[in-house]
Amino acid sequence: MILFLQSYGYLLSYSWANNESVREALGIHKGSLGDWMRCSNIVNYTKNVPSAVMYHLNLTSGGYRALVYSGDHDMTVPFLGTQAWIRSLNHSIVDDWRSWWVDGNIAGFTRTYSNNLTFATVKGAGHTAPEYRPKECLAMFERWIYERAL
């Protein structure tokens, strides 16, 4: 059912983005661009992208807060991989695994590390977690940005 809803949402985005009145409102002159197309969901793994772990280490060691989250149904970048690179930072655990809730339901699990790093999973979410679980992701972000516990 979720796959159908995802596909339906994509279909609606094509229809909306290629609507002449929408394109006019966006300032796209008729004939200047072809039809809008959604980016491919095929991930090309033939490129070797340098690791961003050192950037996270530098930022969190410098006192900047960080929220890292993963959908627990993400088959592109599984949350276990995210956990592994977070562990490689060697920050100590301040608040060990616990559930976080939205509207009386478990929305995921979270762990807080020293150096202002919070990691959270979003239950039932895929790679683009806010697309799958918008209410839960908004609650997670609002709590984090206002420095409240998830």
Mean of the pLDDT values across residues 36-51? 67
**What fold is seen in the domain 53-145?**
Rossmann fold (3.40.50)
Residues 6+ apart with CB under 8 A from 102: 135, 136, 139
How deeply is 82 buried, as exposed, middle or buried, from its count of CB atoms within 10 A (0-12, 13-18, 19+)? middle
Give pLDDT tens digits for 118-150: 999 999 999 999 999 999 999 999 999 999 999
Mean of the pLDDT values across residues 2-16? 68
Domain ranges of the chain: 1-41, 53-145
- For residue 20 the two structure tokens come to 């002449």
pLDDT band (50, 70, 90) for residue 49: low
Of the two residues 82 and 15, the one the predictor is more confident about is 82
Separation of alpha carbons 70 and 7, rounded Å: 21
pLDDT beyond 80 at 9: no
Give pLDDT tens digits for 20-38: 998 888 888 888 888 887 7
Give pLDDT tens digits for 73-122: 988 888 999 999 999 999 999 999 999 999 999 999 999 999 999 999 99
Tracing tokens 């060990």 back to the chain, one arrives at 96
- For residue 9 the two structure tokens come to 């949402």
Separation of alpha carbons 55 and 61, rounded Å: 10
pLDDT for the residue 46: 61
